[in-house]
Amino acid sequence: MFKVLERRELAPTEYEILVDAPRIASKAKPGQFVILRIDEYGERIPLTIVDRDKHAGWIRLIFQVIGKSTAQLATVTTGEYLKDVVGPLGKATEIENYGTVLLVGGGVGIAALFPIVKGLKEAGNRVITILGAKNQNLLILQEECAQYSDELILMTDDGSIGKQGLVTDAMEEVFQREKISTVWAIGPSIMMKFCTLTAQKYKVPIYVSLNPIMIDGTGMCGGCRVTVADSIKFACVDGPEFLGEEVNWDEFVNRMQQYRPEELLANKRYEEQVISNG
Amino acid sequence: MAKRSYTKTPMREQAPEIRNQNFEEVALGYTLAEGRLEASRCLQCKNAPCITNCPVMIDIPGFIKAVEENNMPMAYEILSRYTNLPAICGRVCPQEKQCEMVCRLGRSKKFEPVAIGKLERLVADWSLEQPVEYNEVSGEKGRVAVIGSGPSGLTAAGDLAKLGYDVTVYEALHAPGGVLTYGIPEFRLPKRIVKQEIERIIAQGVKIETNVVVGKTLTMDEIMTDFDACYLSVGAGAPKFQGIKGTALNGVYSSSEYLTRVNLMHGYQFPKYDTPVQESKNVVVIGGGNVAMDAARSAKRLGAEKVSIVYRRSLEELPARQEEYHHSVEEGIDYHWLSNPIEYIDDGTGRLAAVKCVQMELGEPDESGRRRPVTIPDSEFIIEADTAIEAIGQGANKVLLDTFPELALNKWGYIDADEETCATSIPGIFAGGDIVTGAATVILAMGAGKIAATEMDQYIQKIKQGEPVK
């Protein structure tokens, strides 16, 4: 059992929890994730480790309510417990001093981007960060990213904060004005795909963090398999970071839809239960 | 005594047309009377060959005699001297290739061998109804870590606890049991039985910590610092894919994923449990081992209309247990013998529509002694399918091994450990089960666990007495 030490609403439908998990906190590196299960009927869902405190022994997780399990997770409050949390899983980001790096985060993907921003800044890079969301309310972790960025560019669909437009517009501007050694992009798959195309246009290597369907998260089922450079990789153990230009995006997007009917059914059933229980 | 029956005392089973719609256990077990009748068939051989052909050398005539005499506590006492998982072995061991294969009764004309497995199961199931006695372990003899809670790890842990060691088992998943929990389905091995049997091992004083991925959550350095010795029994759980065209289509699974969803995550009880398993109409399972049988029979129970197994050799070479093959046929599973898939065909939306296969014929024997399948030219055919499950074997999981490069591996990527002692290239670290042999059987993994426990005990005691250890 893993105690939730703190729970906060960050934005409409986006939540942050601090979970007491000393072993994971002592090992976690930027780019890694955990798999959690809320209760004995629960499914195993992957979430990126956003931050951790080695001494206090907690890890920080951020999630968006997108279906049954995340809706239920949003109801777990301070002082309550999660049944299972396992990690840190996946390969860590290769943090080193690259020079000037560009980091692009979209929506709840900003949560997964933040530890990489922080890690690269601490490794001595000049860090330019672009954050994008639908509107100001959904633009999470601005202050935290600002703290570890030399330059922070905000983009919203409606222009409610920063500039109106897409993160790829901001990428173009940065590429045109200066030399970038490496890019990271984390967000919805369609965003990562277009970030990849933009970086390729300027011949800059770009890493993306893939979030396919996972079950065990330890390499024993292949549910999270993705085709990278024409070979089968398991995102949970070989990734989750891969070079964007090597990812077969159409296939990746298609596989994400695999359980759409079941996901909708589970969510509908949960909402009905919540309503009938008041 | 009544005349010995030529055949085994039959065990009641659920009818095929009923059981292929539920996940309840197929074989229902002996009553005490049936067990005593079957026990009376045993010849009580001196130098019984069944004992030497059992990987954990159970005193088979001994426990069978106790059953015949209606002394169940004695029967269980004898069994538990040799095995920590009798209810599991009685159900899933391939007895026809081990103890029962060499039974002297079975060797004589017209007689079937004694149903040793079914009797073991009877005694074990009886014991699970008895109250559990909890053991206090002082741990004075030393501290041992076991990595992986499958049959090999649990056996080693149970034996070491009996010897007085403080044993901690680390398991990566949220539930212990390894393949017993995520792989073998409920209808062959009820999870209630697995839980109860593991509870017995915990009662010996063994601690089990779930959600610990050694190599990630804890490092091997930490393990080696905190414990006197360590047993690596992490299994061979990484699925292989053939890698043919269309492998990424929705509806194509590894058997590991399919069975993990069904068994560990209770996918067959969706949406009571949150993890879904795809609804299927036509299912193709690729492979001929027990895992293929388990996947096919699970798919049938999940409501598929037609389930076919595609196997590249013929019935004669089928590696699955005979009993499982017969059960699968009774339950309506079809077979395409001497066939091999070459492509998964897209329905135009990224989902599987059909599996394209070719016919094979058997050529010269290969290294394994089995005749090698060879493709027949222009023999392509199509099987309509919305789900395909590849059950073509597993390899070593690299998660732990990648973080522990000092450990010597063999050319197949498994741990290079001595089969006689389970010793690895690093003193104090022992290994056994599928991570050494590649995917094999539950009982062989248990046999390795027993050897490891004895060897680790000797190793630790030598170290403690300051003796030099190789």
pLDDT of amino acid B397: 82
ipTM over 0.85 threshold: yes
Residue B315 has pLDDT above 80, yes or no: yes
Give the model's pLDDT for residue B132: 86
Residues 214-273 of B with CB under 8 A from A: 216-219, 237-239, 241, 243, 247-248, 250, 253-254, 256-257, 260-261, 265-266, 270-273
Q: What is the pLDDT of residue B201?
A: 93
To probe the interface with A, which of B210, B212, B217 has the most A CB atoms within 10 Å? B217
Average pLDDT over residues B35-61: 95
Cβ proximity of B148 and B226 under 8 Å:
no
pLDDT score of A278 = 62
* Other Cβ atoms within 10 Å of A78 Cβ, number: 12
Average pLDDT, stretch B40-58?
A: 94
pLDDT of B93 higher than 60: yes
Q: Chain A: residue nearest B246 by CA?
A: A251
Q: What is the pLDDT of residue A276?
A: 83
- Cβ contact, residue pair B212, A215, below 8 Å: no
Interface touch B213/A87, C-beta < 8 Å: yes
Higher pLDDT, B3 or B32: B32
Q: Which of B213, B248, B250 sits opposite A218 (nearest CB)?
A: B213
Helix (H) or strand (E) holding B400: helix B398-402
Determine whether the interchain pair B274/A43 forms a contact, defined as Cβ–Cβ distance below 8 Å. yes
Q: Quick: pLDDT tens for B425-470.
A: 999 999 999 999 998 888 889 999 999 999 999 999 999 888 766 5
Please report residues of A whose CB lies closer than 8 A to that of B260: 215-216, 220-221
> For A199-253, what is each residue's pLDDT tens digit?
999 999 999 999 999 999 999 999 999 999 999 999 999 999 999 999 999 999 9
Structure tokens at B395: 């390899």
What is residue A139's predicted lDDT score, i.e. its pLDDT? 93
Q: Phi-psi region for residue A144, left (φ > 0), alpha (ψ -120 to 50) or beta?
A: alpha
Residue A191 has pLDDT above 80, yes or no: yes
Half-sphere CA count of B80, side-chain side, radius 13 A: 18
Cis peptide before B427 (omega within 30 of 0): no
- For the beta carbon of residue B351, count every other beta carbon within 10 angstroms: 17
pLDDT surpassing 90 at residue B4: no
The answer to whether A266 contacts B218, with C-beta atoms less than 8 Å apart, is no
From A71's Cα to the closest Cα of chain B, the distance in A is 12
- Quick one: tokens of A244? 């964007």
List CB contacts (< 8 A) between B253 and chain A.
Answer: 223
- A89, B213: Cβ pair inside 8 Å? yes
Q: What is the pLDDT of residue B469?
A: 64
How many angstroms separate the CA atoms of B6 and B17, rounded? 29
Which residues of chain A have a CB within 8 Å of the CB of B241? 222, 225, 232
Alpha-carbon gap, residue B149 to A197, rounded angstroms? 45
In chain A, residues with a C-beta closer than 8 Å to the C-beta of B396 are none
Q: List residues of A whose CB lies inside 8 A of any B CB.
A: 23-24, 27, 37, 41-44, 68-69, 83-89, 215-216, 218-223, 225-227, 232, 237, 248, 251, 254-255, 257-259, 262-263, 265-266, 269
Q: Is B273–A41 a contact, with Cβ atoms under 8 angstroms apart? A: yes
Nearest to A85 by CA among B208, B173, B150: B173
Read off the pLDDT band of B137 (50, 70, 90).
confident
Decide if pLDDT at B367 tops 90. Answer: no
Cβ atoms of B357 and B340 within 8 Å: the answer is yes
Average pLDDT, rounded, for chain B: 94
B441 closest CA partner among B173, B179, B118, B116? B179
Annotate A187-252 with three-state secondary structure.
CCHHHHHHHHHHHHHCCCCEEEECCCCCCCCCCCCCCCEEEECCEEEEHHHHCCEEEHHHECHHHH
Q: Give the residues across from A56 on adjacent strands.
A: none
- Mean pLDDT along residues B42-51: 95
Enumerate domains of chain A plus CATH numbers: 2-89 (2.40.30.10), 100-256 (3.40.50.80)
* β-bridge partners, A60: A18, A51
d(CA B434, CA B439): 5
Q: Please give the interface size between A and B, counted as residue pairs whose CB atoms are below 8 Å apart.
A: 117
The pLDDT of B229-238, averaged and rounded, is: 94
Residue A79 in this model has a pLDDT that exceeds 90: yes
Look at B56 and A168; give whichever has higher pLDDT.
Answer: A168
Q: How far is B103 from chain A (nearest CA, A)?
A: 38
A195 is in an annotated binding site: no
Beta bridge partners of B284: B308, B388
SS3 of residue B200 by DSSP = helix
Chain B residue whose CA is closest to A41: B273
Average pLDDT, chain A: 95
Residue A271 has pLDDT above 70, yes or no: yes
**Which residues of B are less than 8 Å from A29 in CB distance?**
none
Sign of CA dihedral B302, B304, B308, B310: negative
